[in-house]
């Protein structure tokens, strides 16, 4: 057993520290605890363990009993808050391509001409809903600078999304970025919408700022068709919008395909977050794992758009623990990480529930470089975590059944924040 942490023994020490006890504690980074407890003080976790052990170690601390399950806050590693005002945008027909859906989205946004106030209000409601569902940290990718949202305790990392597929478009965006404040975080949209010069420019900027470089990757199989052959729906889309030149196809792409192209551009490293990653071959998964780049899956959006399911089993076998995201409401019917976990379980029944829960918590925290505060119940982590309850959980006879229910039963009947209750 490790030595006990030092606790302030001043006159207010008992009020500053509390033991939270529950029938189940799910630390994520360590085994599930039956009749477990979490000791918190000064907004930090001091210890996690069985209630019997912690009551002996800290006999003078007050104890609060929680009737359900204690677990870390969820992490939504990919969302577009500025699209909240759009509502769900349905394709024109069952056999529509992803490019067709993008066209419908752009037409709807241009026709609606939403005001900044409407966009802000819809984004604020989404943030509130995310917090109510148990999300404590999220990565927001947007095309607008939204006002700071202080109505909840949720932590939001916001990146402005840039795109420029043609040479002229790339140079125009680079010129714009050169005039912006150097501390404004930006990122790229995708390899099919952001040319190589712009990708490299933005990545250098992110390295200098030490910010996350997040982009959509291999969401649709036509992305590889564009880069390798200059064909597919994205090629047609760019031509229709007058953004086609000699940027695509990219010469010299080998079996590593799009991922190899990004590796050659020096884009992939521990600061890179690749979102969706549905259409990756075995070699691409191997390359991603070797570069240390992170992955975020959005199964609900992928199912809605009909683009397929990511090769999760191969990623896990290669040592990649993906993060989990909802994407925007425009391409999903519900922005609920509990539902995303359930979809993953349905599509990948051989993946154990512990890994799926880890994706929604510590996987996202690591990808966003915020694991010192989020993702697990462990000493020195932020003392802001969840207390969830539901009739289904009471039927769990062991940790395995509990994790299965947490990841497959959808949103709990009750989700509350321990920091708010304390």
Query: Secondary structure of 30-42 in the HEC alphabet?
Result: CCCEEEEEEEEEC
Pairing of β 186-188 and β 213-217: unpaired
Is the pLDDT at 173 greater than 60? The verdict is yes
Quick one: 20 and 109 in the same domain?
no
Name beta bridge partners: 137.
75, 155
Residue 95 has a pLDDT of: 83
pLDDT tens for 319-351 read 999 999 999 999 999 999 999 999 999 999 999
Grouping H, G, I as helix, E, B as strand and the rest as coil, residue 358 is: helix
Residue 190 has a pLDDT of: 98
pLDDT tens for 362-401 read 999 999 999 999 999 999 999 999 999 999 998 999 999 9
Residue 167 has a pLDDT of: 96
pTM of the model: 0.94
| Model confidence band, residue 14 (pLDDT cutoffs 50, 70, 90) | very low
Q: What is the DSSP string of 371-390?
A: TTTSSS--TTSBS-EEEEE-
| Model confidence band, residue 151 (pLDDT cutoffs 50, 70, 90) | low
Alpha carbons 82 and 142: distance in angstroms, whole number:
6
Which residue has better confidence, 309 or 95?
A: 309
pLDDT tens for 213-246 read 999 999 999 999 999 999 999 999 999 999 999 9
User: Could you tell me which of 385, 380, 333, 406 has the C-alpha nearest to residue 134?
Assistant: 385
Quick one: 218 and 267 in the same domain?
yes
User: Could you tell me which of 269, 273, 160 has the C-alpha nearest to residue 213?
Assistant: 273
Quick one: 81 and 227 in the same domain?
yes
The CB-side HSE value for 235 (13 A sphere, CA atoms) comes to 16
Q: Confirm if 115 and 139 have CB atoms less than 8 A apart.
A: no
**Does residue 332 belong to any structural domain of this protein?**
yes
**Does residue 4 belong to any structural domain of this protein?**
no
Quick one: 68 and 80 in the same domain?
no
pLDDT tens for 374-383 read 999 999 999 9
Domain with residue 400: its CATH number is 2.30.40.10
Quick one: 94 and 195 in the same domain?
yes
Quick one: 43 and 117 in the same domain?
no
Q: Is 137 left (phi over 0), alpha (psi -120 to 50) or beta?
A: beta
Contacts of 82 (CB under 8 A, 6+ apart): 119, 123, 142, 143, 144, 146
Domain that holds residue 390: 13-72+376-421
Is the pLDDT at 149 greater than 50? The verdict is yes
The end-to-end CA distance of the chain, in Å, is 28
Quick one: 39 and 88 in the same domain?
no
Domain with residue 138: its CATH number is 3.20.20.140
The total number of structural domains in the chain stands at: 2
- 309 to 120, 300, 344, 347: CA distances (angstroms): 32, 10, 9, 7
Quick one: 201 and 299 in the same domain?
yes
Is the pLDDT at 422 greater than 50? The verdict is no
State the average pLDDT for the chain: 93
Determine which helix (DSSP H) or strand (DSSP E) holds 388, and give its type and residue range: strand 385-389
| Model confidence band, residue 147 (pLDDT cutoffs 50, 70, 90) | low
**Does residue 1 belong to any structural domain of this protein?**
no
Which residue has better confidence, 19 or 10?
A: 19
Quick one: 173 and 224 in the same domain?
yes
Quick one: 267 and 398 in the same domain?
no
Q: How much is the average pLDDT of 22-39?
A: 98
Residue 310 CB coordination number (10 Å)? 26
Strand-by-strand arrangement of the 155-162 sheet: 74-79, 135-142, 155-162, 186-188
| Model confidence band, residue 150 (pLDDT cutoffs 50, 70, 90) | low
Q: How much is the average pLDDT of 92-119?
A: 91
| Model confidence band, residue 254 (pLDDT cutoffs 50, 70, 90) | very high
Residue 91 has a pLDDT of: 86
Residue 96 has a pLDDT of: 86
Structure tokens at 334: 């519900």
Q: How much is the average pLDDT of 66-77?
A: 98
Alpha carbons 259 and 257: distance in angstroms, whole number:
6
Q: Confirm if 290 and 312 have CB atoms less than 8 A apart.
A: no
**Does residue 92 belong to any structural domain of this protein?**
yes
Q: With the C-alpha atoms ordered 312, 315, 321, 326, is the resulting torsion angle positive or negative?
A: negative
Q: What percent of the chain has pLDDT over 90?
A: 89
| Model confidence band, residue 182 (pLDDT cutoffs 50, 70, 90) | confident
User: Could you tell me which of 192, 84, 200 has the C-alpha nearest to residue 142?
Assistant: 84
């Amino acid at each position: 057993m490790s030595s006990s942490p030092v606790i302030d023994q001043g006159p207010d020490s008992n009020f500053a520290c509390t033991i939270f006890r529950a029938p189940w504690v799910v630390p994520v980074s360590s085994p599930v605890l039956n009749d477990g407890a979490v000791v918190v003080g000064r907004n930090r976790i001091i210890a996690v363990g069985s209630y019997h052990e912690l009551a002996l170690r800290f006999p003078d601390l007050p104890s609060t009993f929680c009737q359900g399950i204690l677990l870390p806050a969820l992490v939504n590693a990919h969302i577009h808050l500025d699209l909240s005002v759009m509502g769900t945008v349905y394709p024109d027909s069952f056999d529509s391509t992803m490019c067709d859906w993008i066209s419908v989205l752009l037409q709807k946004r241009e026709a609606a001409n939403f005001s900044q106030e409407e966009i802000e209000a819809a984004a604020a409601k989404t943030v509130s809903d995310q917090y109510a569902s148990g999300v404590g940290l999220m990565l927001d990718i947007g095309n607008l600078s939204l006002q700071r949202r202080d109505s909840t305790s949720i932590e939001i990392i916001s990146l402005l999304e840039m795109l420029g597929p043609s040479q002229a478009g790339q140079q125009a965006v680079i010129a714009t970025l050169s005039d912006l404040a150097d501390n404004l975080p930006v990122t790229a949209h995708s390899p099919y919408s952001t040319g190589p010069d712009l990708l490299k420019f933005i990545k250098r900027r992110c390295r200098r700022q030490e910010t996350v470089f997040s982009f959509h990757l291999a969401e649709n199989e036509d992305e590889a068709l564009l880069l390798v052959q200059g064909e597919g729906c994205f090629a047609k889309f760019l031509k229709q919008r007058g953004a086609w030149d000699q940027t695509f196809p990219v010469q010299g792409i080998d079996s590593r395909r799009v991922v190899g192209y990004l590796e050659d551009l020096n884009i992939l490293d521990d600061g890179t977050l690749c979102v969706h990653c549905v259409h990756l071959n075995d070699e691409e998964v191997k390359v991603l794992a070797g570069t240390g780049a992170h992955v975020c899956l959005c199964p609900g959006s992928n199912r809605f758009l009909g683009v397929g399911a990511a090769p999760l089993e191969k990623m896990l076998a290669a040592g990649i623990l993906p993060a989990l995201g909802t994407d925007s409401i425009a391409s999903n019917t519900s922005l609920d990480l509990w539902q995303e976990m359930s979809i993953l379980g349905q599509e990948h029944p051989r993946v154990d529930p512990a890994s799926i829960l880890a994706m929604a918590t510590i996987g996202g925290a690591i990808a966003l470089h915020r694991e010192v505060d989020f993702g697990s119940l462990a000493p020195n982590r932020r003392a802001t975590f969840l207390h969830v309850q539901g009739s289904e959980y009471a039927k769990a006879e062991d940790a395995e059944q509990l994790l299965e229910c947490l990841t497959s039963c959808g949103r709990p009947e009750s989700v509350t924040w321990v920091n708010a209750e304390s």
